Amino acid sequence: MAQPSHQYVTVEEYLWQEQRAEVKHDYHSGQVYNMAGGSPEHSQIAVNLTGELRALLRGSGCQVFNSDLKVAVEGNRRTKDNKRQPDDEFVTYPDASVVCGQLEFYKADRQTLANPKVLFEVLSPSTRNYDRSVKLEQYRKLPSLMAYVMIDSEKVWVEQYHRTAQNSWQVDAPLENIDASLRIEILNLDLSLLALYEEVSFQDKAEY
């Protein structure tokens, strides 16, 4: 994760600037962060992922979006008088999002979703800790979200967090067998790891 700009920005200013920006940025509590680029493996898995989701969800009433569309999480930090702290929001670009039913947009910005049902991140060395800590914590605040899936780009490894009937979050055992399939119950589908990692060639990192 890149260093913040250190200049305070409201979420409205960020959304306006992001519509006109040539590169993507994340937003968290008044700070804007540059996004890191991805590897060929990361890009290939993301393409495979959205392609598989689109095919499996066709006709289901659910839509699949790639990393061009942001997702916003409304903040829940409170002031002393119990009012929501302004600009405690988190806005980022997931590698893939699924929305079922009517699309809802954050602050009327059609480039920013407010109601994803399932979110996906492809993990890279530069973003792995961020995706597994900050994003996990923030995503779980979304009332609409039912599952969060992380896919490693350096090895066969897929992990899913999902919301239970008791409104708590449970993590499934990671899948590390290429012949396995990930069951996403809320979407009533199985994602083949073989399909997710199709044409992905893992490099020996010791070469670099």
Three-state SS for 4-25 is ECCCCCCHHHHHHHHHHCCCCE
Helix (H, G, I), strand (E, B) or coil at 187: helix
In a domain, 137, yes or no: yes
Question: Residue 50 sits in which domain range?
Answer: 38-69+93-207
In a domain, 16, yes or no: no
- Smallest Cα–Cα separation from 187: which of 136, 117, 121? 117
d(C-alpha 79, C-alpha 102), whole Å: 33
Provide the CB-side half-sphere exposure for 202 (13 A, CA): 11
Structural domain contains residue 112: yes
Tokens of 208: 């670099």
Please indicate, yes or no, if residue 1 is contained in any of the structural domains: no
CA distance 150 to 128: 9
Question: In the chain, what is the straight-line distance between the N-terminal and C-terminal CA atoms, in Å?
Answer: 20
Note down pLDDT in tens along the chain; length 208 residues. 555 556 889 999 999 999 999 889 999 988 999 887 789 999 999 999 999 999 999 999 999 999 999 999 997 655 556 555 555 799 999 999 999 999 999 999 999 999 999 999 999 988 899 999 999 999 999 999 999 999 999 999 999 999 999 999 999 999 999 999 999 999 999 999 999 999 999 875 443 3
pLDDT value at residue 83: 56
Largest CA distance in the chain: 56
Backbone angles phi, psi at 104, to 5 degrees: -120, 135
Residue 35, pLDDT score = 82
CATH at residue 179: 3.90.1570.10
pLDDT of res. 205: 47
What pLDDT is recorded for position 164?
A: 95
pTM > 0.85: yes
Q: Is residue 2 part of a domain?
A: no
